[in-house]
Structure 1
Amino acid sequence: MSEHATPDLTHLATEIKRWGQELGFAHIGIGTADNHPHAQRLNEWLQKGYHGEMGYMSAREALRADANALHEGTVRVISARMDYLAGGEDANTVLQSPQKAYISRYALGRDYHKLIRKRLSQLAQRIEQQAGGRHRAFVDSAPVLERGYAEQAGLGWIGKNSMLINSRAGSWFFLGEIYTSLPLPIDAPQETSHCGSCRACLDDCPTQAIVAPYQVDARRCISYLTIELHGPIPTELRSAMGNRVFGCDDCQLVCPWNKFAQPSTEEDFVPRHQLDNSELLSLFQWTETQFLEQTAGSAIRRIGYPRWLRNLAVGLGNAPHDPAILKALQQRRTEVEEMVAEHIDWAIAQQQQKAALIGSDR
C-alpha cells in the first residue's frame, strides 16, 4: 500500500489480530488511548504510599496518565497477551516443601521482555508497512498502564488482586502494548469484573498485602520485597515469606479463574536450570559466578547476587531445622556485605531456635 493511500481501518484491525496470532500472541485487542479512570486509580494508590521505594512510579506518573506525552500522536493502544505457563514442577508442591526454593512461574524461563518486545516490534513494523502511521512497542519497559489499557481493549478485567483476569485464560500471561497514531476501530470491553463475592486472593496472601479488594500495598507484597526492595526485608514479614525467594504467585494459585489457564508453547518460557524444583541450600551455596551463569538471560538476574542471597537466607531461616543449613549460614556469614549478613544472622537465630525446641522435646 502506498504511503498516501487511505487504509481500510476495519480490515486492518482484523489483520493486526491475525498477524499477532502468527507471532505467538493469544489475544490482541484495540482500545482508546484515554486511560483517565485508571490514571486516577494510580494517583490514589500513589497518594497512599503503596508503591514503597518504587520512586519511578510517582516520578513518571504524568507519562502513565497521558499516552500522547509518552509517544506523540497516539490515539489507540493495541494490547497483546502472551501466555507463559510452560510446565515444570507443580507450584503448590514446591510451596509445600519448605526446604525448596519457590520462584515465581513467570521467571523460570528466559526473560520475557526481549521475546515479547521483538514480536511486538515486528507487528508494529508490519502495520507501518501496510498503513503508515507512527507506532511504538512497549513491554513493561516504559510508564504504561498496561492492565488498564488491556481491560479497555477487552482482554479481561482487573481482579481483586490487581491482576488482569481473562475468563478463558485466567491470569498467567504477559502483556505488551503498541501505541499507534492510526484511529483503528475499538474493541469494546468484553468483561466486567467477575470476581463477585470471592475473596480467595485477599484471604490467601501470605503477608496480607491485598489490603482491600483491588488494592495492593506493595510494601507488604512478597514480589516487591524479593525483587524491588533494595534494603533489608522488614523483620515482621520474613516468617510469612516461607520459601518464596523471587516473587510470589499465591493470589494467582488460588484464583478460581486460573483453572482455565492456557499452556504456553513458547520454548523460552520452559523452566531452566531446574529452578522450578531446587533446594534452598543448593542455591544459597552458589558463588557469584554461578549465579551469573545460571541466571543469564533470566529476569532473576536483575536483583543481583546480594539480594539473591538475602532472599535465600530468609527462606533458609524459615526452613525446618537442618544442621547443614545452619553450617552453611555460618560459613557464608563472614563473606557477605552487611545487609545480607543481617538476614543471615536472622536465619541463624531461627535455625538455632528450632534446634532448641527439638532438643527440649526429647
Structure 2
Amino acid sequence: MQRRITIKDVAEAAGVSTTTVSLVLNKVPGRRIPEHTRHRVREAAEQLGYAANAAARTLRTQRSQSIGFVSDEIATSPFAGQLIQGAQDVARARDNIVLLTNSGYDRELERREIRALLDRRVDGILYAAMYHRVVELPPELAGVPVVVLNAECPDEDVSWVAPDEFAGGWDAAEVLLAAGHRRLAMVNDADEIPASAERPAGFLARCAEAGLPASAVPVVRSEPRAVAARPVARELLDRPDRPTAVFGFNDQVALGVYLAAADLGLRVPEDLSVIGFDNVELLAESVAPGLTTIALPHHEMGAWAAEQLYTLVDAPDGQAPPRRTAHLRGPVVHRASVTSPLR
C-alpha cells in the first residue's frame, strides 16, 4: 500500500520547516511569509499529492471547514439550485465544503438531519426555503451560527436574506410602461405569502407614479399554476376594455395568460404583452414567443447568506456581529413577449 504523504515530506521537498508548511496550507492570516516561499510550498504539496488530514485540522483549529445547508426541497429542484451554487462558491473560496440536506417539508426528518450535521461539527448552518416566506427556526439550531436564506425570520438575533419582491413588481410595471402600455393588469397568487403582497404593491406603485391609479389596474387572484390561471386570465381578457399587458405572479401564471390569450384568438405580443416572474428557464425559453420575466437573485442570495454566516463563524467568542437583513433585487430577463401596443 502506498505510504501517505505527510507535512514533513512537503517541508523537506520545499526546503522549509513543517511550521511554515502548516501556515501556508492552512492559510493562517497575519504571518509574513514571502510569496515565493508560499509558492514553493504549494508546488511541493501538489507534486507530492499531499492531502491535509481533515480530522487533525479540525482538532487543531476547532473548525470542520464545512457548513450545513438545510433545505425543504431546494436540493432536488433545478429551479433554485443557484441558491446552493452561490453558497458553494463562497465556501469553495475558503477551501470549505457545503453539506446538503433536504427534508421534503418533513419537520421530524429536518430535525434528524440538523442533528446529524451538528454531530459532524459543521461550522454553521444555512437554513434555506424553497420560496419566500417567514420561517421559525427549529429548536435544534439554538446557539448555532445560522443565517436564513430565501426567507425572513422574526428572531431578532438571526440574519436573513430574501428577494426584493416590491422592486420586482415595480420593474415589471416599468417594462410594460416603457413599451407604451396604459391598460395594465396583474394575475396574482391567491396564497397569503410575502410575494403575493409585495409584488402587486410594487407593480401598483409604479403604475400610480405613471398616473394610473390602483382602480384602473385590475389585480385578480389565482392559484400559481398555469391550469388554474388560464380561466382567470380568460375572464380578465374577455372584456371590452381588456388590458393590453398582463403581469403574471410567476412564470406558470404567465403561461396561463398565454393559453387564455390563445383561447380568445389574441396573439402574444402583438395583441397582448405578458411578463412573468422567477425566470424558470425551461418554461420561459420554451414558450413561443419567449417570456420576458423577472429573475430571482438566487446566486446572489446564496453568496450573501454564506458570507454573512462566515462573519458569525469567524467572530471571536462573545463578539457576534449584529443581525443583518437584506432584500436583493433580481434582474429583468428580456425575451420577446413584450412589445408596444397596437391600440
Greater relative contact order (Cα < 8 A, sep 6+)? 1
- The TM-score with structure 2 as length reference comes to 0.24
Larger radius of gyration: 2
Give the structure with the larger helix fraction. Answer: 1
